[in-house]
Chain A
Amino acid sequence: MTGFYAQLQERLGRETVPLIGFLLLVVVGFALATPQFLTAANFSSMAFQLPALGLLTLAMLVPILSGGLNLAITATANISGLTLAWTLIQFGGAEAGFGAFLLGVVLALAAGGAAGCVMGLVVAYIGAHPILVSLAMMIFLRGLGEFLTRGGDISGFPDFMNTIGHGTLAGIPVPLIIFAVAALVWHVMLKRTRHGFSVYMIGSNIQAAEYSGLHSKRTLTLIYTISGMICAIAGILMAARFNSVRVGHGEALLLVTVLACFLGGIDPFGGFGRVLPVVVALVILQVLSSGLNLLGANQHLSTAVWGLFLIAVMALRFVFARLSEIRRRRE
């Protein structure tokens, strides 16, 4: 039994197993509390809600792993969404063809990537703290967006975009497929590529990494560029889901992404953490929020529960770390 557990922990990561246990606990709790919880409608609703937050969390994840932070994720997503929207409007708005959409997607990715790249360059070559740099970028992008749109929204997109936001493929919501693919790519990138290895090394100790011959400046630039590009995908998804783009869409999600990363066991100081537990943490947050909504609880209460949950997880982690330390000493 212990062998199996150890093996499971080995394969999924130390953080994942307790989180899955907690997820089951929450699901069972809500299932007992309301019969509406274990329904297809609720699961489909959660599956549609999760991906936008999930993609933004992936954008937050790698900068945190490298010991930084990216506060500009929602602003980058908005600016990328606006880029796509402008491209579509140039080609006739609702009548725009698929080619125009593809061009818009490429331009949106370029805009997101460019925003990220600038942040990366400043962090890497000037050595400014990522919090300052990304805060500045957030304010710049938001101001720019407000200036260009005058605070209004751009809407009226072609019908096929609705499929991206609300459609299903073989019964699975399209947004969820996009998120699952992105999460898989992130996992492979972090665990199987040279870039991923560099991210962990830089996050653990940037000086040591540099002396060992890692090109830390290039890696840092790449980290923020990729983060900007996944923001762009989140921006495109939000545009498809809301059928409109506006500066400020999804702003409330910014800090929730940080919460999801920490719940998922990402070390706040960088260097340690995996994608899978973060995904499980996202699911838990979604289940808590949807479940409390089904019960008709106050929205502020669900935010409070999220906070309590983070504190509880931190406390449990501390206790377990102490226990295993004591056990090791006895041995």
Chain B
Amino acid sequence: MRKLLGAAGGLALALGIATAVQADTPTMGVVVKIGGIPWFNAMEEGIKERAGEIGMDAEMIGPTSADPALQVRAIEDLIAKGVDVIGVVPNDEAALEPVLKKAMDQGIKVVAHEGPGLNNVDWNFELASADGFGEAHAKLLAEKIGGPGKYAVFVGSLTVPLHNAWADAAIAWMAENHPEIELVGERYGVAESVDDSRATALDLIAANPDLKGFLAFGSQGPIGAGRAIEERRKGGEIHVLGPFSPGQGQKLLKNDIISGGYMWNPAEAGRVFVTMGKMLVDGEEITEGTEIEGLGVVSPDAATRNIITDNLLEINKDTVDGLAAKGL
């Protein structure tokens, strides 16, 4: 019995010493939408990597389902743990406000990503602005078409605000800079389904002989439109662009069916979380012109606490293998 007590005491002492040593390292917890999916696994890698580089003790918490209630629980546990910084990728912005306020009231710094509407945060950062993302795709399409022609726009659904904001920006840029490239019809809300995208693309190709490109915003749009082009053997003639899952579109991209697209890098987002967390703990001010690694020179919006940048990652033949290997 005495031996056991001695061992327990020794263990407690060792743990006490271990924590005493750790006390100087700032701690951070990042609560993401859901754990165990490739996107957030990549983010976790980024967090761990960056934490090792700059001496933070950072961990990622991925709830078992995308339920805001679980995020609230995880954040409460982080507050209890007494971390210095909380990072969050919200499932539901409104549901997190009270618990984030609680964290901030206790002096914990809060960094958010993909939560532009959050109020109780020190900063929210974005790696892609709606306008920048849309324009980048339009620019790339104009480059690939390289002359007059027609193009069609797919969105995930007509009620997805983000997709429509991308589409608005892309169409506006195209109308201003390349009036010779015309939009066919309105936008089509089919891009969350491979079959719908394929069928709509086939109809559009049949109806418009001078169709030169598709801009597909929505995870399945480029894949579906790509299938249609593959069937009609129009690879290289009609260009498909849009954000898609690299693993899913790898083959179509290599066969020149899909021309490419942009996404943002979750691992980079993970790195930025830690970088910003460290800056906040050290009390560094983030103002107009501050350079943040991973974001570049930023111009933060002090009123809405948003830092919106355009750090897009092009999906092309060179990058697709690496991205697909990460399971993205």
Chain A residues engaging chain B, CB cutoff 8 angstroms: 32-36, 39, 41-42, 44-46, 48-49, 52, 150, 153, 155, 162, 165-166, 238, 241-244, 246, 248-253, 289-290, 293-294, 296, 298-300, 303
Question: B65 touching A45 by the CB < 8 A rule?
Answer: no
Give B5 Cβ to nearest chain A Cβ, in Å. Answer: 12
Give A61 Cβ to nearest chain B Cβ, in Å. Answer: 20
Residues in A with CB closer than 8 Å to B76 are 45, 48-49
Bitwise, B91-121 to A at CB < 8 A (1) or not (0) is 0101111110010000000000000000000
How many residue pairs bridge A and B at CB < 8 Å? 114
Question: A32 touching B98 by the CB < 8 A rule?
Answer: no
Residue of B nearest to A244 (CB): B94
Residue of A nearest to B15 (CB): A35
When chains A and B are docked, how far (Å) is the Cα of A44 from the Cα of B80?
8
Question: B94 touching A155 by the CB < 8 A rule?
Answer: yes
Q: Which of B63, B69, B94, B99 meets A238, CB within 8 Å? A: B69
Residues in B with CB closer than 8 Å to A296 are 59
| Chain B contact residue count (CB 8 A cutoff) | 37
Question: A241 touching B72 by the CB < 8 A rule?
Answer: yes
- Indicate if B61 sits at the interface (CB-CB under 8 A): yes
When chains A and B are docked, how far (Å) is the Cα of A90 from the Cα of B15?
55
Known: A251-B67, A252-B63, A289-B73. 11 other contacts (CB 8 A): A32-B8, A34-B15, A35-B16, A36-B80, A41-B79, A42-B80, A150-B159, A241-B72, A241-B99, A242-B69, A249-B67
* Nearest 3 interchain pairs by C-beta: A244-B94, A45-B80, A155-B94
Residues in A with CB closer than 8 Å to B94 are 153, 155, 242-244, 246
When chains A and B are docked, how far (Å) is the Cα of A36 from the Cα of B16?
10
When chains A and B are docked, how far (Å) is the Cα of A128 from the Cα of B28?
51
Question: A293 touching B67 by the CB < 8 A rule?
Answer: no
Chain B residues engaging chain A, CB cutoff 8 angstroms: 8, 11-12, 15-16, 19, 35-36, 59, 61-65, 67-70, 72-74, 76-82, 92, 94-99, 102, 159
* Majority secondary structure, A binding face: helix
Residues in B with CB closer than 8 Å to A35 are 15-16, 19
Give A3 Cβ to nearest chain B Cβ, in Å. Answer: 26
Count chain A CB atoms within 10 A of each CB in B70, B81, B92, B159 and give the residue with the most.
Answer: B81
17 sample A-B contacts, Cβ–Cβ < 8 Å, listed by A number: A36-B81, A41-B79, A44-B80, A45-B80, A49-B77, A150-B159, A155-B94, A165-B98, A242-B96, A242-B98, A243-B97, A250-B67, A252-B63, A294-B81, A298-B35, A300-B36, A300-B64
Question: A41 touching B95 by the CB < 8 A rule?
Answer: no
When chains A and B are docked, how far (Å) is the Cα of A303 from the Cα of B70?
12
Give B92 Cβ to nearest chain A Cβ, in Å. Answer: 6
Residue of A nearest to B69 (CB): A250
Residues in B with CB closer than 8 Å to A300 are 35-36, 62, 64
Question: B95 touching A243 by the CB < 8 A rule?
Answer: yes
Q: Given known contacts A32-B8, A299-B63, A300-B64, is B72 in contact with A242 (CB within 8 Å)?
A: yes
Question: A32 touching B11 by the CB < 8 A rule?
Answer: yes
Residue of A nearest to B95 (CB): A242
Give A145 Cβ to nearest chain B Cβ, in Å. Answer: 14
When chains A and B are docked, how far (Å) is the Cα of A290 from the Cα of B99?
16
Q: Which of B64, B96, B97 meets A299, CB within 8 Å? A: B64
Give B82 Cβ to nearest chain A Cβ, in Å. Answer: 6
Question: B82 touching A36 by the CB < 8 A rule?
Answer: yes
